[in-house]
Amino acid sequence: MAVIAGSRPGPPPLTGALEGALAGAARVVQRNLLVYRRTWRGSLFGSFLTPLLYLTAMGIGLSQLMASGGTTALGGVEYLDFLGPGILASSCMQTASFESTFPIMGKIAWRRNYEAILATPIEVHHLLIGELSWIGFRLTTMATAFMIVLTLFGIPRSPLALLAIPAAVLTGVAFAAPIMGFAATRHNDAGFAPLFRFIINPLFLFSGTFFPVSQLPDAVEWVAAATPLYHGVVLVRGAVLDNMPSTWPLHLAYLVVFTAITGYIAYRLLRRRLVK
């Protein structure tokens, strides 16, 4: 399990700070890729199946019930078109959140991979950037698979829809950063169930994935609008349906700033946990 540092041909020359961080992060990604080589089939299969099932069931089944209600509340689009991009953004949130809890906890406390890794020239910030990049990579493959399914359903309006992929990936990473920080403070997995039940699942249900947040009471609407998923859903839906609101730079800036701040906090927490 533990990598024996001395047996490698030699540590990579780490010159500049940024260059060093990128080289270190690349090593972390490389390690995860090695592990993933054994399990990618199952996760790729899931990446296609989940959107396919959700869109078939909710999109087609529910839109039949809605036929009489009209689509004015949805901004004039069919329910299937409304739902598809919403599920894309929230699936990225769910995957990124899961990947930031149990696997990270395992590497910190159960298998102690990080202890082994930190015995090499790799430092805590390389680790964090590496893990976040790894999740970004996983989300990119997932979002691409999702986009293929959306295309099969005829949902994207123009080639600009491809911009939804980076938007969805950014949405996921915005969750990965704070949750990794949270995982770094935990000594067992008991905190993860409440995290999913009180934060991730409610966001999945109330951040504009299944219905516009304008359907919610005002107070709840404000809470929803303060969360990263809401902004991610706006961007992804705008790109896929080619009706991006003019406020898009604000939504994008929210996600970038949120990720940067929570990423820094996660770094401090990881450091406190791993460096004695």
Catalog residues that contact other proteins under the rule CB under 8 A.
Answer: 39, 42-43, 45-46, 49-50, 53-54, 56-58, 60-62, 64-66, 68-69, 73-74, 79, 188, 190-191, 193-194, 197-198, 201-202, 205-206, 210-211, 215-216
Q: Would you say 205 or 253 has its CB closer to other proteins?
A: 205
Q: How near is the Cβ of 109 to other proteins at its closest, in Å? A: 14
Classify 244 as helix, strand or coil: coil
Q: How near is the Cβ of 91 to other proteins at its closest, in Å? A: 12
Q: Which of 90, 94, 105 is nearest to 182 (CA)?
A: 105
Q: How near is the Cβ of 43 to other proteins at its closest, in Å? A: 7
Q: How far apart are CA 209 and CA 211, in angstroms?
A: 6
Q: Would you say 63 or 140 has its CB closer to other proteins?
A: 63
Q: Would you say 198 or 222 has its CB closer to other proteins?
A: 198
Q: Would you say 86 or 238 has its CB closer to other proteins?
A: 86
Which residues have a Cβ under 8 Å from the Cβ of 234 and sit 6 or more positions away? 208, 245, 247, 248, 251
Tokens 């080589």 label which residue?
37
Burial (Cβ within 10 Å: 0-12, 13-18, ≥19) of residue 68:
exposed
Q: How near is the Cβ of 220 to other proteins at its closest, in Å? A: 9
CA dihedral 158, 160, 163, 165 (to 10 degrees): 30
Which residues have a Cβ under 8 Å from the Cβ of 130 and sit 6 or more positions away? 24, 25, 26, 27, 28, 29, 32, 122
Q: How far apart are CA 134 and CA 122, in angstroms?
A: 16
Q: Would you say 66 or 252 has its CB closer to other proteins?
A: 66
Q: How near is the Cβ of 147 to other proteins at its closest, in Å? A: 19
Q: Would you say 110 or 256 has its CB closer to other proteins?
A: 110
Q: How near is the Cβ of 135 to other proteins at its closest, in Å? A: 18
